[in-house]
Amino acid sequence: MQVEHLDNHTARLTVEVPQDRLNAAMQRAAKRIAAKVNIPGFRKGKAPYAVVVNYVGQQAVMDEALEDLGNELYRESLKAAALEPYTTGSLEDIKTEPTLQLVFSVPKAPEVDLGNYRQVRHEYILPVITEEQVQELLEELRERHAEEIQVERPAELGDVITVDILGKAAHPQAEKQVDAAAEAAPEQEAASEPETFIKETDFRILLSTNPKHEFMPSFTEKALGVVVGETRTVTLAYPEDYKDAHLAGHTFDVTFTVKQIKARQLPELDDAFAKRASNNSLQTLADLQARLRSNLESEAKQKVDELYADLILEKIVEGASIRYPEAMVEDYLDDVLKELEDNLRQRGLSLSTLMQVQGKDKAALRAEYRETAINRLKRNLVMQALIRAERISVSADELDAHIDEMLDSIGGVDAKQAETFRRMFRSEANRRNVGLRLVLDRLKERLIAIGRGEAPELAAVDLSMPVAEQQILLGSQGAAASEVSESTDKPEASA
């Protein structure tokens, strides 16, 4: 056997087929063919080898034989070469001279060298919560407790309008393409209608200029002054730098009919409000403000921790040596585009619409998102390597205790519902998901400790949990592919 390690993290195995094993495989293949094919003069499965070969051709028997024998030789070759494949290998070629040889292409499992990752450092700074932030949150809480009063007047800023609404994507460039396509193929014109972005009845919209609350950019400005029964059509454009990249730069035509207008009356900021807003858990406005400050501090720390851990991870990725096959990139790219498609569908759009607007085909779209897929791949590989290197794990007892806490936090259910939740949370799939979440939380904590120079001494892996859970939680690549797929046309071969 010849083993070649290629630059694209793929191995090429050239395996000579022993003549005795080929002969035996062809005998077995002939029997299988005889059992499936009607050969004149013989009952199914009873035709002799020579008759089968003469009837279907030697190449057909060879092809059938190599399907099983190829998989056997592939598995044996992987073991002999001490190769761990990332995914199923493929039969790249069949050589007939000087002897019969099978050439397998094997995408190798990824390899990660983390380097001196424990020396990565970055300053950790928690923001100071200001009085202005507390007051802003207090005002938002006040907004949520506003009383709504139906009014018979034109809509004003701060009102809530109830509408029937229809919004469609407006793409001038795409419309030109649609017109051209319609001239060439009129029967396809109906299929080129703009994608529906939103279609709702009795839809409530707060007329606010606050970016946090505004329905769509400029909608409030263009909706002010409407009256009940009025239908208005507006064109709304998302700016190029909009936070949601899938909407950035896109324009929509929105038609809405007003069915109701309500004014909002805000409550007074006093102790009575504090009691109502806290469900009587607080007695004074000062207590409420203190709680809001505490919440803001907790949220700020959580956000800082997320960003800091992500920054440390990026630094470790930059310093790591990572090798992976192209097949892995393609798999990650499939996932990225599937997520993109799902996100667009939630907004009433489609991947085909996006490609039409951008003037791209699938190949161009894959090229555009390739770097995103590679970055995600590298991060995931490094995270798996860190989990192993830092010996981060969750014991079976810890997992059970956490699941019990989750169950205890569920309120307002009867005994039967509680038992249903208990079975659901304790299923194998949910145990693995909860365990993985716990491991990722601990990885985040460890990344923060590494970046601050506070990483603890490495502990031993807790082996009390089932092996299957250890593999998931420690970032195992899973079982190696042991079958080979055929990706080549078989040349004529003779035994």
Cis ω for the linkage preceding 491 (within 30 of 0): no
Task: Mention every residue, 6+ apart, whose C-beta is less than 8 A from residue 149.
Answer: 262, 263, 264, 265
50-64, 389-403, 458-472: which range is least confident on average? 458-472
Domains of the chain: 2-109 (3.30.70.1050), 146-265 (3.10.50.40), 324-389 (no CATH), 391-479 (no CATH)
pLDDT digits (tens, 9 = 90+) for 436-486: 999 999 999 999 999 999 999 886 544 444 433 444 444 333 333 445 554
| pLDDT(269) > 50 | yes
Strand stretches in 266-316, DSSP E: none
- What rounded mean pLDDT belongs to the chain? 87
| pLDDT(175) > 80 | no
Instruction: Identify the pLDDT of residue 180.
Output: 39
> What is d(CA 260, CA 242) in angstroms, rounded to the nearest whole number?
30
| pLDDT(490) > 90 | no
Instruction: Identify the pLDDT of residue 177.
Output: 41
Give the burial string for 55-74 (b: 16+ CB within 10 Å, else e): bbeeebbbbbbbeebbeebb
Q: DSSP class of residue 285?
A: H
Tokens linked to 129: 């919560």
> What is d(CA 285, CA 133) in angstroms, rounded to the nearest whole number?
16
Instruction: Identify the pLDDT of residue 196.
Output: 83
Q: Under DSSP, is residue 186 helix (H, G, I), strand (E, B) or coil?
A: helix
191-205, 291-305, 313-327, 423-437: which range is least confident on average? 191-205
Kind of pairing, strands 231-237 and 251-265?
antiparallel
pLDDT digits (tens, 9 = 90+) for 11-46: 999 999 999 999 999 999 999 999 999 999 898 889
| pLDDT(54) > 50 | yes
pLDDT mean over 289-318: 97
> What is d(CA 22, CA 70) in angstroms, rounded to the nearest whole number?
10
Instruction: Identify the pLDDT of residue 410.
Output: 79
The candidate with the shortest Cα–Cα distance to 134, out of 345, 285, 333, is: 285
Instruction: Identify the pLDDT of residue 150.
Output: 96
Instruction: Identify the pLDDT of residue 171.
Output: 59
Task: Mention every residue, 6+ apart, whose C-beta is less than 8 A from residue 35.
Answer: 44, 45
The candidate with the shortest Cα–Cα distance to 435, out of 384, 391, 401, is: 401
pLDDT mean over 182-186: 39
pLDDT digits (tens, 9 = 90+) for 94-117: 998 888 999 999 999 999 999 999
53-62, 189-198, 281-290, 477-486: which range is least confident on average? 477-486
Instruction: Identify the pLDDT of residue 194.
Output: 66
Instruction: Identify the pLDDT of residue 413.
Output: 74
> What is d(CA 18, CA 23) in angstroms, rounded to the nearest whole number?
9
pLDDT > 70: percent of the chain: 88
pLDDT mean over 47-67: 93
Element (H, E) at 13: strand 10-16
| pLDDT(50) > 60 | yes
pLDDT digits (tens, 9 = 90+) for 227-259: 999 999 999 999 998 888 778 888 999 999 999
Sign of CA dihedral 214, 216, 217, 223: negative
Largest CA distance in the chain: 101
pTM of the predicted structure, to 2 decimals: 0.70
Element (H, E) at 398: helix 396-408
User: Please, how many CA atoms are within 13 Å of residue 367, restricted to the half-sphere of its CB?
Assistant: 6
State the pLDDT confidence band at 206, using cuts at 50, 70 and 90: very high
Do residues 81 and 1 touch, judged by C-beta distance below 8 A?
yes
pLDDT digits (tens, 9 = 90+) for 360-385: 999 999 999 999 999 999 999 999 99
Tokens linked to 327: 């097949």
Cis ω for the linkage preceding 154 (within 30 of 0): no
